[in-house]
Structure 1
Amino acid sequence: MCNLTRLRSMALDSSGKQPEQQQQQQPPPRASTEAGLKLRKTPNEELEPDNYEDLQLDFSPVLFSSLERYLPEQVLNSTRNDKARFMRNLLLRYSPETERIRIQRHREYREKILSSYQRLHVEIYSLDPASFFAPSFLNALSQKSEQGLRSIMSQPSAGIFTFEMLNPRFCEMLLAEVEHMEKWVYDSRTTIMRPNTLNKFGVVLDDFGFESMLKKLVDDFISPISQVLFPEVCGTALDSHHGFIVEYGKDRDTELGFHVDDSEVSLNVCLGKIFSGGDVYFRGVRCDNHVNSEINDKEMYDYSHVPGQAILHRGRHRHGARATVSGHRVNLILWCRSSSFREMKNYQKDFSGWCGECRRVKTDRQKLSIEATKQALIKIGAEKASKPSAD
């Protein structure tokens, strides 16, 4: 995905002109871009962005929906096609050619899957809360209160929340769908893109047609929950995602190395099956500058998976997975991202609100300041006491 922050900073400063070399490499911009219109410096939080998934675009439809919040009023009041054209021109001007090629190839890859893959359980591609979720989860959310939400949450360690989430029947259907996907990949000899660089097994659900369903899951459920539990890293909302399945066991991945996720908030739900081992170990939340810093004993926590149960944590919460020693474990992972948080993060240096190491450094600095002030006052008091009395 194109770097939205870099794009915005360029567009805000742009007068509509490009360096000569860039003009030669990039397609000529439309008149609307040449007019020098600039993106908003802050997003329009009241705007409900259009959906661009049905358009033939050079970039991810999610990127267009996120960028729309920054459009100037002149463009915002135009048709959806005109808005898409304006944003496309900006993206073409400021994104590297290699990025455009990568996005185009990924789009063609998805189109090939969607045109050939025959779904097994069509009903799970559209979000149906009544059949997807556990009754306790639905009841808690129906109360529309923080108290109701927290009533089903366990917080075994700081910043880690566990709760019953998925209906067993839905877990069974999703597992069957994933097996059906893997069989189709094998039979059709399709080269499949795996979830990330660490997982060599599993599938990206968005590539197989789950993007709309997962977007609704994030918008209607995960984002509101995260605004309560992790307000400091959610920005104004979680507005994009990466959803995938990971598989562990014999002839699959066995463990997962120590890492952080490319997300603001991560949802991890065990779907099954029968397995032993595979615990997730957590070792503290860190910003980019402190991701390799030491571990505090209080930050250490190990979590054992339970089918249907979810674990929700900050993406920057360092973690890994121990070896699955027997059986077959399958998990649904949803990385949830906030474009507004990532934008604001570029202008911050102190993340003590959520980074454990930033908090420690800040606390140590405050202690040193207090001690220095204390010593200064003691010295002043001693000097006053040593002076002879006026009498």
Structure 2
Amino acid sequence: MSQTEGQSTNPTSNGNVNNRNGSNGVVYPSFASHRLRLNPSVDHKSDNYEDLQLDFSPLLFSSLERYLPPAFLNSSRDQKVNYMREILLRYFPEGERTRVQKHREYRQKIISNYQPLHRELYTMHAANFFVPSFLKAISENTEESYRNIMSEPSPGVLTFEMLQPRFCEMMLAEVENFERWVRETKFRIMRPNTMNKFGAVLDDFGLETMLEKLMEDFIRPISRVFFTDVGGSTLDSHHGFVVEYGMDRDVDLGFHVDDSEVTLNVCLGKQFSGGELFFRGVRCEKHVNTETQPEEIFDYSHAAGRAVLHRGRHRHGARATTSGQRINLLLWCRSSVFRELRKYQKDLSSWCAECQREKKERQRQAVAATKLIRFGPGWVRSPYSRANGEAATSEEKDVIGGSSHKVLQPEGLEELEVFRLAPDYFTGITQTSRSCSIVDQRTEL
């Protein structure tokens, strides 16, 4: 439904039009001023939106609801849908919605004509898919239970046994069957992303529901423990695919970050040599091409059935597969809430290693700046420390410009004051190295 932003009517999910004053007395702001809260209402129980015909995933609305302003939480479901929908439409223009509709039609055409080989793959059967140790950790759902089955060879890179051999065999056979159908029908398919020339999107030939359950019931609980800083607790959409490396396939994969908040990467097989993943630190957009620090260098060798879980912004790549064929299942897990909130972020990211180094460097320079700050003619020592660099007592004072000045300040004020007095000390520290690509989901044939 088309609507002019700021108009005083309120379209609901069923096409009706309501007055902008809700029945609960809330006066709804213009669409242009719609905002989400930074922190969710953790105790709020969201409505279910599965029965509505919406432009976006029902799970997306359920996730966003907890971030609504408090006055809206008890509004009618239609009013909440409209409020959230208008926020989403700001970042999802008509051209993009048209593209999504075409992709739905493309996907439906495949599903209507492709005959699955192993139909049991298309519904989640956890006991048949996963190894017992993984299921036990998920059922206990504690950090300790997860740590018991995982190793973390490099910060933020989690590895663990996950898939049963039979599942890997069936998935490999299903992918081969789909690719055979593609060749025989000469159907033109979309490849998984903008970097891989081979592989298939699992969601496109009917595995979307199973992969959605994989994200919701297995990856999101783990991410809620280990990746809360990048929206791990609010994962609400995914992109599932397989990639293929070897002779007549992709050989390697360049240095990149994923279009995801959390990435699951599981090797399905087959026999191969090479193909190691190399990791080079987590970075935000601003710092994606900054220098790698020695402690961030880590290489990982794949093994069938074993998973790697990491932040999507963890820079990585794949070395050449030198013999045989390697096929991996990947699940890019995304959080619409995290992406929305990042639009309002103004400070340094807590999850970007370079942001944290920059923050520490600013703090170090702030301390150094307090040792010698220029006040008019000549240089005087900082009013926040003794001349020998030791902390001053609350009784000590410096006389600056003929007036007394208290030495100690409330906690946190000193750094702010130094920034105000000595701005020239604080500059970004950015060193470029090897270019890092941002790999996106392919959206067109």
Q: Normalising TM by the smaller chain, what interval?
A: 0.7 to 0.9
Equivalence for 2:36:
41
Structure 1 counterpart SS, 2:152: strand
Equivalence for 1:270:
267
Gaps of 5+ in 2: 10-14, 22-26, 373-381, 391-395, 397-445
Is the CA contact 2:232–2:261 (under 8 Å) kept in the aligned structure 1? no
Equivalence for 1:24:
none
The C-alpha deviation readout for 1:50-81, integer Å capped at 9, x for no partner, is 464x8766555665555566775687435xxx
Equivalence for 2:411:
none
* Structure 2: distance between partners of 1:381 and 1:331: 57
1:135 counterpart = 2:96: no
Is the CA contact 1:236–1:340 (under 8 Å) kept in the aligned structure 2? no
* Structure 2: distance between partners of 1:314 and 1:337: 10
Is the CA contact 2:284–2:349 (under 8 Å) kept in the aligned structure 1? no
Alignment partner of 2:387 out of 350, 361, 379: 379
* Structure 2: distance between partners of 1:127 and 1:51: 22
Q: 1:184 to 1:83 in 2, by over 3 A?
A: farther
Equivalence for 1:207:
204
Gaps of 5+ in 1: 1-9, 18-28, 385-391
Q: Give the TM-score taking structure 2 as reference length.
A: 0.72
Is the CA contact 2:182–2:188 (under 8 Å) kept in the aligned structure 1? yes
The C-alpha deviation readout for 1:72-99, integer Å capped at 9, x for no partner, is 5687435xxx987897788678743321
Which letter maps to 2:99?
R
* Structure 1: distance between partners of 2:238 and 2:145: 26
- How far the C-alpha of 1:173 sits from its partner, in A, is 0.6
* Structure 2: distance between partners of 1:195 and 1:367: 44
Equivalence for 2:6:
14
1:247 counterpart = 2:239: no
* Structure 2: distance between partners of 1:298 and 1:361: 16
Is the CA contact 2:111–2:205 (under 8 Å) kept in the aligned structure 1? yes
Q: 1:374 to 1:37 in 2, by over 3 A?
A: closer
Is the CA contact 2:221–2:233 (under 8 Å) kept in the aligned structure 1? no
Equivalence for 1:192:
189
Which letter maps to 1:153?
M
RMSD value, Cα? 3.2
Equivalence for 1:221:
218
Is the CA contact 2:244–2:326 (under 8 Å) kept in the aligned structure 1? yes
1:31 counterpart = 2:28: no
Equivalence for 1:77:
77
- How far the C-alpha of 1:297 sits from its partner, in A, is 1.0
The C-alpha deviation readout for 1:301-351, integer Å capped at 9, x for no partner, is 111001000001110000011111111100010111112211221222334
Q: 1:14 to 1:41 in 2, by over 3 A?
A: farther
1:361 counterpart = 2:329: no
- How far the C-alpha of 1:111 sits from its partner, in A, is 0.8
Q: 1:173 to 1:48 in 2, by over 3 A?
A: farther
* Structure 2: distance between partners of 1:169 and 1:212: 20
Which letter maps to 1:340?
V
Is the CA contact 2:159–2:306 (under 8 Å) kept in the aligned structure 1? yes
* Structure 2: distance between partners of 1:310 and 1:258: 20
Q: 1:200 to 1:16 in 2, by over 3 A?
A: farther
* Structure 1: distance between partners of 2:113 and 2:99: 21
Structure 2 counterpart SS, 1:151: helix
Sequence identity (%): 58
* Structure 2: distance between partners of 1:329 and 1:94: 37
Number of positions where the alignment pairs a residue of Structure 1 with one of Structure 2: 359
Structure number with greater Rg is 2
Q: Which has the higher helix share?
A: 1
Alignment of 1:1-391 (within 5 A): 14-16=6-8, 31-32=17-18, 37=28, 41-42=36-37, 46-48=44-46, 50=48, 52=50, 63=60, 72=72, 76-77=76-77, 95-234=92-231, 236-374=233-371, 376=382, 377-379=385-387
Structure 2 counterpart SS, 1:223: helix
